[in-house]
């Protein structure tokens, strides 16, 4: 249902679907959005963590918030297609889609779909989930799509290497030896910005907007499964990191603020629009990435 001219946008009473909501900034955002009156759908890999999060959100809101749980393995395109079908069957409307789940891997691993794992989780998963739910978002009237990117997109100084999407030639920087960020992670975060740009172009006139943001360096459980060096590095970095609640502020603002109504294809940080790195502003690369992503997800159709 469309808003009246004098009615300001807010998430109160709206349905927000969010991936990666069982920890970190996703969980912090889910708590705040539920407190502001949103109904939530959380997409998670672990059923136990998802149910625990749902119970927590209901308790925090005194049972007012509706919280749906959807299970999916974001490294598996067939799993993403299954969960999208379930979401469409259970959710008559989606007002806000938050593509927040992300990961960093220090080793090059291929998924069952033949996709390098970091690329699969950080880029192709949000691309596929969004495109599968796009019709429902349009049917919901005015809707928002928010994708969590990172300042790390600036590590991919030369842009996306479309000739090496499996990252055979170049996966990591020397920093990876200490468990720090790697080139592949930066490339996927660049993909998030380019995806948002092309998505916004394709959504012009639909009433649905697309945006992405940098949460800053956040103290979360991110990068905890990549060995001792990675955990030690993150422990040091936490001294200089934001809390998950601070990292989630821009996400919540993009979901709830009337101030950004009608704004699409933009990159934000610290509650304001920011300028991404030059490779992230390439409209040609954004279009090429979309076409390439369609090809990489086509084979998983059942």
Q: Which residues are catalytic?
A: 185
Angle, in degrees to the nearest 10, between helices 125-139 and 283-298: 100
Rounded Cα distance between 39 and 143, Å, is 14
User: How many residues are recorded in the chain?
Assistant: 302
Angle, in degrees to the nearest 10, between helices 183-202 and 283-298: 100
What is the token pair recorded at 172? Answer: 């990591």
Torsion of CA 16, 216, 230, 154, to 10 degrees: 110
Torsion of CA 100, 101, 107, 108, to 10 degrees: -90
Q: Which residue has the tokens 């009433």?
A: 207
Rounded Cα distance between 130 and 225, Å, is 27
Strands (E), the chain: 15-19, 39-44, 67-71, 96-99, 143-148, 208-214, 266-269, 272-274
Q: For residue 178, count other CB atoms closer than 10 A to its CB.
A: 12
Phi and psi dihedrals of 140, rounded to 5?
-75, 0
Rounded Cα distance between 151 and 204, Å, is 26
């Amino acid at each position: 249902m469309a808003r009246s001219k004098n009615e300001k946008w807010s998430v109160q009473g709206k349905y927000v679907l969010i991936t990666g909501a069982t920890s970190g900034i996703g969980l912090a955002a889910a708590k705040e959005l539920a407190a502001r009156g949103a109904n939530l759908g959380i997409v998670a890999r672990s059923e136990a963590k998802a149910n625990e999060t749902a119970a927590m959100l209901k308790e925090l809101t005194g049972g007012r918030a509706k919280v749906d749980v959807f299970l999916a393995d974001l490294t598996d395109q067939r799993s993403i297609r299954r969960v999208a079908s379930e979401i469409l069957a259970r959710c008559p409307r989606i007002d806000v889609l938050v593509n927040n789940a992300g990961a960093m891997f220090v080793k090059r691993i291929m998924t069952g779909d033949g996709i390098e794992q970091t690329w699969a989780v950080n880029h192709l998963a949000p691309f596929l989930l969004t495109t599968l739910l796009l019709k429902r978002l349009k049917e919901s009237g005015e809707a928002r799509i928010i994708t969590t990117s990172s300042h790390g997109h600036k590590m991919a100084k030369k842009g996306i290497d479309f000739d090496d999407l499996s990252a055979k030639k170049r996966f990591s920087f020397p920093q990876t030896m200490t468990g720090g960020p790697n080139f592949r992670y930066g490339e996927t975060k660049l993909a998030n910005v380019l995806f948002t740009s092309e998505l916004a172009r394709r959504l012009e006139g639909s009433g649905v907007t697309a945006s992405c943001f940098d949460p800053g360096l956040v103290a979360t459980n991110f990068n905890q499964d990549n060995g001792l060096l990675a955990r030690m590095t993150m422990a040091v970095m936490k001294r200089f990191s934001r809390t998950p609640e601070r990292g989630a502020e821009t996400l919540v603002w993009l979901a709830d603020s009337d101030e950004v109504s009608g704004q699409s294809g933009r990159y934000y940080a610290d509650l304001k629009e920011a300028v991404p790195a030059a490779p992230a502003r390439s409209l040609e690369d954004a279009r090429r990435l979309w076409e390439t992503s369609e090809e990489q997800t086509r084979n998983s159709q059942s």
